[in-house]
Amino acid sequence: MNDNHPSRDVFDAIADPTRRRLIQLLSETAEIPLHELTSQFDMGRTAVSKHLTILKEAGLVTDRKVGRETRFRLNAAPLKEIQDWVSYYGKFWTVNMLRLQQLLEEEEE
């Protein structure tokens, strides 16, 4: 799979709280083995692996084999799409709150 063309939507990938927690854990270190990630959850290795696969499909996670161990790393670049979307609506609310404030001030006069 080409990391430049993720097969899963980033918004879909971060929709699950377990995947958001995985992103947080991966952001705290350069690389982490699967068994260390699994120990952070009340679920089995297979379930954690499925969540990691979804994150990989969205381009948020990369992995590599080191001997018999698989290590995971965060690729935060696709999160910019989320940041841009939230930023747009932040501006939307700021503008609308300013309009509301102006309207209220005009009514007071």
**pLDDT band with cut points at 50, 70 and 90 for residue 6:** low
CB 61 within 8 A of CB 72: yes
Q: Residue 96 in 3-state DSSP?
A: helix
Give the Cα separation of 42 and 38 in Å (integer): 8
How far is CA 49 from its chain centroid?
A: 16
Alpha-carbon gap, residue 7 to 84, rounded angstroms = 20
What integer pLDDT is reported at residue 40 of this predicted model? 96
pTM of the shown model: 0.77
CA torsion, ordered 66, 24, 47, 63, to nearest 10 deg: -30
Per residue in 27-86, pLDDT (tens digit) is 999 999 999 999 999 999 999 999 999 999 999 999 999 999 999 999 999 999 999 998
pLDDT at 21: 98
Across the range 8-26, mean pLDDT stands at 96
